[in-house]
Structure 1
Amino acid sequence: MTTEGTVLPLSALDRSSLPIAGGKAANLGEMLRAGVPVPPGFVLTTSAFRAAAEAANIGPKLEALASADPSDRDRLAELAAEIRAALSSVTVPDAIAEACVRAYDVELGGAAVAVRSSATAEDLPDASFAGQQDTYLGVLGKDALLDAVRRCWASLFTERAVVYRADRSIDPREVSLAVVVQRLVHARAAGVLFTANPVTGRRHEAVIDAAPGLGEAVVSGATNPDHLEVRVDTGEIVTRRLGDKRVVIEALPGGGTRHEQRADGSAEACISDTEARALAAMGARVEAHFGAPQDIEWAIDPEGKILLVQSRPITTLFPIPEGPWSSKEGPRVYFSFNVAQGVFRPFSPMGLQFWRAFSGNAARATGLWDGDPLDGAPFWAIGANRLFLDITGVLRNPLGRRVFLFASTRMEARTGAVVRTLLEDERLGLVHTPSWKTARSVARALVSIGAPRMVLRGLVKPDAVSAKIAADADATIALGEVAEGSPPSAYLDAVERMLRAPFFIFLNMPSVAVGFVALRVLRGLLGDDLDEAEVHTLLRSLPNNPTTEMDLELWALSRRVGADPASRSALREEAPLALAKRYADRSLPAVLQRELQAFLARWGARGVAEIDIGVPRWRDDPTHILGSVANYLSLGEDAAPPDVAFERGAREAERKAEELVSRARAKGVLRGEVVRFAASRVRRLMGVREAPKFGIVRIIAHARSLLLQAGRLLTQEGKLAAEDDVFFLDLRELRAVTGGTDFRALVAERRRLNTQELGRKHVPRILLSDGTEPETIAAAASSEGGLSGTPASAGRVTGKARVVLDPVGAKIEPGEILVAPSTDPGWTPLFLTAGGLVMEMGGSMSHGAVVAREYGIPAVVGVAGATARITTGQMITVDGGAGQVGVEA
Structure 2
Amino acid sequence: MSIVRLIEADAACGRKAQALAVLMRAGLPVPDGFVVTDPGTDRRRVSAHLSRLPARAVAVRSSGLSEDSERASYAGQLETVLGVRTVDDVLAAIRHCAASAGTPRARDYRTRVDPHGDPTGEAADPVIVQELVEADHAGVLFTRDPRTGDDTIVINASWGLGESVVAGTVVPDEVTVTPPADTIRVTLGTKQTRVDLFDHGLVRMPVPTADRARGCLTVDGIGRLVALGRRCEDLFGRPQDIEWAARDGLIWLVQSRPITALDAPRTPPTEQGSGHLLVTGVPSSPGRALGPARLVRSVDEFRRVRRGDILVCRTTDPAWTPLFRLAAGVVTETGGVLSHAAIVAREYRIPAVAGARAALTSIPDGTQITIDGARGTVTGRRS
TM-score by length of 2: 0.68
Aligned-partner residue type, residue 12 of structure 1 = E
User: How far is the alpha carbon of 1:263 from its aligned partner?
Assistant: 6.1
User: How far is the alpha carbon of 1:43 from its aligned partner?
Assistant: 0.6
Instruction: Render the CA deviation track for 1:264-293: whole Å, top value 9, x for unaligned.
Output: 352122110111011011101101111111
User: How far is the alpha carbon of 1:779 from its aligned partner?
Assistant: 4.5
User: How far is the alpha carbon of 1:34 from its aligned partner?
Assistant: 2.4
Distance in 2, matches of 1:866 and 1:133, equals: 21
Aligned partner of 2:318 in structure 1 is none
Unaligned runs of 5+ in 1: 50-91, 319-761, 766-774, 786-800, 802-818, 820-864, 869-873, 877-885
Aligned partner of 2:266 in structure 1 is 764
Distance in 2, matches of 1:25 and 1:147, equals: 20
Aligned-partner residue type, residue 313 of structure 1 = P
CA-based RMSD of the aligned residues comes to 3.0
User: How far is the alpha carbon of 1:888 from its aligned partner?
Assistant: 12
**Are 1:141 and 2:133 counterparts?**
no
Q: 1:267 to 1:243 in 2, by over 3 A?
A: same
Aligned partner of 1:209 in structure 2 is 156
- On the 8 A contact 2:102/2:121 being kept in 1, the answer is no
Aligned partner of 2:272 in structure 1 is 780
Give the secondary-structure state (helix, strand or coil) at the position aligned to 2:212. Answer: coil
Tell which structure's C-alpha radius of gyration is larger: 1
**Are 1:275 and 2:267 counterparts?**
no
- On the 8 A contact 2:107/2:120 being kept in 1, the answer is no
Distance in 1, matches of 2:203 and 2:177, equals: 31
Q: 1:262 to 1:98 in 2, by over 3 A?
A: same
Alignment of 1:572-591 (within 5 A): none
Distance in 2, matches of 1:99 and 1:779, equals: 61
Instruction: Render the CA deviation track for 1:764-784: whole Å, top value 9, x for unaligned.
Output: 36xxxxxxxxx11x5522237
Distance in 2, matches of 1:867 and 1:211, equals: 24
Alignment of 1:438-477 (within 5 A): none
Equivalent of 2:128 in 174, 180, 200: 180
Aligned partner of 2:96 in structure 1 is 151
TM-score by length of 1: 0.30
Give the secondary-structure state (helix, strand or coil) at the position aligned to 1:309. Answer: strand
Aligned partner of 1:41 in structure 2 is 33
User: How far is the alpha carbon of 1:126 from its aligned partner?
Assistant: 2.2
Q: 1:100 to 1:249 in 2, by over 3 A?
A: same
Q: 1:784 to 1:280 in 2, by over 3 A?
A: closer
Give the secondary-structure state (helix, strand or coil) at the position aligned to 1:146. Answer: helix
Aligned partner of 1:727 in structure 2 is none
Q: Which has the higher strand share?
A: 2
Q: Which has the higher helix share?
A: 1
Distance in 2, matches of 1:131 and 1:244, equals: 23
Aligned partner of 1:192 in structure 2 is 140
Distance in 2, matches of 1:185 and 1:875, equals: 45
Distance in 1, matches of 2:368 and 2:182, equals: 51
User: How far is the alpha carbon of 1:30 from its aligned partner?
Assistant: 1.4
Instruction: Render the CA deviation track for 1:155-179: whole Å, top value 9, x for unaligned.
Output: 2223321101123332245734111
Alignment of 1:604-619 (within 5 A): none
User: How far is the alpha carbon of 1:310 from its aligned partner?
Assistant: 0.7
Q: 1:129 to 1:784 in 2, by over 3 A?
A: closer
Instruction: Render the CA deviation track for 1:185-242: whole Å, top value 9, x for unaligned.
Output: 1111111101111122212x211111111111111111121111013543321x2111
Aligned partner of 1:161 in structure 2 is 106
- On the 8 A contact 2:55/2:132 being kept in 1, the answer is no
Among all aligned residue pairs of Structure 1 and Structure 2, give the percentage whose two residues are the same amino acid: 39
Q: 1:866 to 1:314 in 2, by over 3 A?
A: closer
Equivalent of 1:222 in 169, 177, 180: 169
Instruction: Render the CA deviation track for 1:425-464: whole Å, top value 9, x for unaligned.
Output: xxxxxxxxxxxxxxxxxxxxxxxxxxxxxxxxxxxxxxxx
User: How far is the alpha carbon of 1:134 from its aligned partner?
Assistant: 1.2
Give the secondary-structure state (helix, strand or coil) at the position aligned to 1:156. Answer: helix
Q: 1:245 to 1:887 in 2, by over 3 A?
A: closer
Distance in 1, matches of 2:351 and 2:147, equals: 20
Distance in 2, matches of 1:221 and 1:150, equals: 26
Q: 1:298 to 1:867 in 2, by over 3 A?
A: closer
Higher RCO structure (Cα 8 Å, ≥6 apart): 2
Give the secondary-structure state (helix, strand or coil) at the position aligned to 1:199. Answer: coil
- On the 8 A contact 2:43/2:88 being kept in 1, the answer is no
Distance in 2, matches of 1:293 and 1:866, equals: 21
Distance in 1, matches of 2:245 and 2:171, equals: 17
Distance in 1, matches of 2:190 and 2:368, equals: 41
Aligned partner of 1:442 in structure 2 is none
- On the 8 A contact 2:99/2:125 being kept in 1, the answer is no
Instruction: Render the CA deviation track for 1:710-755: whole Å, top value 9, x for unaligned.
Output: xxxxxxxxxxxxxxxxxxxxxxxxxxxxxxxxxxxxxxxxxxxxxx
Distance in 1, matches of 2:57 and 2:135, equals: 13
**Are 1:8 and 2:4 counterparts?**
yes
Distance in 1, matches of 2:143 and 2:55, equals: 34
Aligned-partner residue type, residue 113 of structure 1 = V
Distance in 1, matches of 2:239 and 2:259, equals: 6
Distance in 2, matches of 1:194 and 1:151, equals: 29
Aligned partner of 1:124 in structure 2 is 69
**Are 1:99 and 2:30 counterparts?**
no
**How many residue pairs align between the two structures?**
287
Aligned partner of 2:230 in structure 1 is 284
- On the 8 A contact 1:232/1:280 being kept in 2, the answer is no
Give the secondary-structure state (helix, strand or coil) at the position aligned to 1:119. Answer: coil
- On the 8 A contact 2:78/2:100 being kept in 1, the answer is yes
Q: 1:232 to 1:189 in 2, by over 3 A?
A: farther
Give the secondary-structure state (helix, strand or coil) at the position aligned to 1:245. Answer: coil
Distance in 1, matches of 2:192 and 2:175, equals: 18
User: How far is the alpha carbon of 1:866 from its aligned partner?
Assistant: 12
